[in-house]
Amino acid sequence: MTSKLLIATHNKNKFEEISMFFVGLSMEIISLNDLGINTTVDETGNTFAENAALKANAYSKESGLLTLADDSGLEVSALGGEPGIYSARYAGENASDEDRTALLLTKLKHIPSNLRVCRFRCELAVSLPSGLVNGFTGECQGRVTLKPLGINGFGYDPVFLIPELGKTMAQLSSEQKNVISHRGKACLNARASFLEGNNKEGLYD
């Protein structure tokens, strides 16, 4: 396998969440910050998968390394799939997680709990400087709560209820979240691909 795997995000929380899935592999896990890469990639795709591939390809070419990038977000049925691919920019480019959550709850204020059906979606893309290697998907079904609950996690976790558990993502431990989350499922699929030697033409060597 390649000696390094770049997790292409500037978000510290996301880097920590993703990188823990690849601990124990015969590669060093590094971040954009470790390499001093401060550039951002315009997410001009129309889907999570397209944006993940754009980021993976761009950062792989810039770093010269095998690179994993994700694009993920929340899709709310009552809002026609919003915020979707705009989840991170829902309340503006410089908005906080709290700002985005507040906007979402405002838009849903007249929607009853049973109609607040939603899902978290995650698409991971793995790329070499020569081009895209593979893609992995994960999703988690839930409902949007009436107010934020819990202090763990980040993003929309405090308002994402897992009905069968009766808890939001932000009320779960990291270990619990990783088993059921959209990002956890996608990362586990990617890890399995590495472990199974899914390296056509020596792509991971």
Give catalytic residues, as residue numbers: 71
Q: What does the H/E/C string look like for 166-204?
A: CEEHHHCCHHHHHHHCHHHHHHHHHHHHHHCCCCHHHCC
68: three-class secondary structure by DSSP: strand
89: three-class secondary structure by DSSP: helix
- Cis ω on the peptide bond leading into residue 158 (within 30° of 0)? no
Say how far residue 120 (Cα) sits from the centre of its chain: 9
Distance, in Å, from the CA atom of 37 to the CA atom of 201, rounded to the nearest integer, reads 29
CB 134 within 8 A of CB 186: no
Distance, in Å, from the CA atom of 41 to the CA atom of 20, rounded to the nearest integer, reads 24
Number of neighbouring beta carbons within 10 Å of residue 172: 20
Q: What are phi and psi of 123, to 5 degrees?
A: -125, 125
Distance, in Å, from the CA atom of 5 to the CA atom of 125, rounded to the nearest integer, reads 12
Tokens of 150: 């819990």
